[in-house]
Amino acid sequence: MRSCFAPPLLSIVGIACGAAAGALNTAFITNCGESCPDDPLLWALGCSITFPVIGHLLRKKTRHTVANTMLVAAALAATVLLPALSMYAYGLHEKYWRLHGKQVYPDIEYSLMVISEEPLPTLGIAEAERCVINNDLRCGENPQAISAVCQSGFVSLPRRHWSSFKRLPNEDLQGPAPANGDRKYYLNDLCQQQATSVSQP
């Protein structure tokens, strides 16, 4: 293969592999903001540059044939895609099958449904994990923890982490959250809501 055709070919392969790797790496990121859509583009841009450069260095030691060029392209593609596929498989197991395979439902004792908005490794709770909260929330006693049954199992949620859990009023038995525009209500708002409901005639 002529040398002038190899760099464009490797660049095209790099763009395809980079876009695929970027998409796989962000497949299970739910709260990445505006950076998520750019990740595949950045990967594609980086691979479109590095593939021809590395390919040129590798091809200097081999004959410039179509077979050798395709072999170099396949090796570079595998170097990028195999780790991305491995991370995707890990995320599929940890963040999808593990959570969605075990659902939690509210009942009379645990009637409040919440969802975590960030991972809490110390509690073994993943991002976007659902939990049902124990009804026995005695706000007057200033509780420092509350019992919960999450998709990963039974946990005691320390008060410092309550702001990480958003209410899902359409899925629990407590009724809708107080109407206040588009405001999100979190677990740490419960005591304030209880105080408001008690003060109302």
Residue 66, in any domain of the structure:
yes
Residue 30, in any domain of the structure:
yes
Given a contact cutoff of 8 angstroms between Cβ atoms, the answer to whether 187 and 172 are in contact is no
Beta strand 130-134 with 153-158 is unpaired
Which residues contact residue 171 at a Cβ distance below 8 angstroms, ignoring those fewer than 6 apart?
A: 106, 113, 130
pTM of the model: 0.48
Q: Tens of pLDDT along 82-118?
A: 988 888 887 776 666 655 657 888 888 888 888 998 8
Total domains in the fold of the chain: 2
The answer on 192 and 130 residing in a single domain is yes
* Position 197 confidence tier, pLDDT thresholds 50, 70, 90: very low
Domain holding 184: CATH number? 2.30.30
| Domain stops at, among 38, 67, 100 | 100
Residue 105, in any domain of the structure:
no
The answer on 120 and 39 residing in a single domain is no
The answer on 120 and 47 residing in a single domain is no
How many Å apart are CA 156 and CA 148, to the nearest integer?
6
Which residues contact residue 70 at a Cβ distance below 8 angstroms, ignoring those fewer than 6 apart?
A: none
Residue 15, in any domain of the structure:
yes
Query: Where in the sequence is the domain holding 88, given as residue range(s)?
Result: 6-100
Q: Tens of pLDDT along 121-138?
A: 888 888 888 899 887 777
